């Protein structure tokens, strides 16, 4: 019974940490969205956010694995003795609902960010394509212009005063 209480406490703590991490992910995703809305995106900051999000996701995976292991040990006890642990189960369910709500908001923002990033990449590709085309035109112009004058051609100057 006492070990069950310790395990339940560990599961609640895990869910509470996961909720905090999900909120941090939401803030970072919102910041990403703001960056993507700017005309000149700060790619350095964008990459920093991606790295931070990767680290947070790794923490979530670790917490999930630990939670699953503990839940496997307690699942039969929680199913058979629901009334004893009702308040603890309700606390965990509350955390899970909040985590799920946060996850849904993150997912929606991620979808918008993905679309905005693809639009950004498309614009960047177009700019590169245009830049290459104008570079080719300039190079071609400068290569051909010196060849326009031949020595047998004469230049006439108006010497009227």
Question: For residue 41, what pLDDT is reported?
Answer: 83
d(CA 142, CA 135): 11
Question: For residue 76, what pLDDT is reported?
Answer: 82
Question: For residue 75, what pLDDT is reported?
Answer: 83
State the pTM of this model: 0.73
| 14 contact partners, CB below 8 Å, separation of at least 6 | 63, 66, 67, 70
Give the mean pLDDT per block of 10 residues along the chain (161 residues): 82 94 96 89 90 95 92 84 86 94 95 91 79 70 63 60 56
């Amino acid at each position: 019974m006492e070990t069950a209480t310790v395990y339940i406490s560990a599961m609640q703590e895990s869910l509470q940490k996961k909720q905090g991490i999900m909120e941090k992910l939401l803030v970072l995703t919102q910041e990403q969205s703001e960056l993507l809305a700017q005309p000149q995106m700060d790619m350095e900051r964008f990459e920093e956010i991606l790295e931070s999000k990767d680290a947070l996701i790794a923490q979530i995976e670790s917490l999930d694995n630990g939670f699953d292991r503990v839940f496997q040990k307690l699942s039969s006890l929680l199913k058979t003795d629901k009334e004893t642990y009702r308040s603890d189960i309700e606390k965990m369910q509350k955390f899970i609902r909040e985590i799920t709500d946060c996850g849904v908001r993150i997912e929606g923002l991620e979808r918008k960010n993905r679309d905005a990033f693809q639009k950004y990449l498309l614009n960047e590709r177009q700019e590169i394509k245009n830049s290459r085309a104008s570079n080719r035109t300039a190079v071609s112009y400068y290569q051909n212009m010196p060849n326009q004058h031949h020595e047998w051609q004469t230049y006439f100057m108006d010497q009227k005063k």
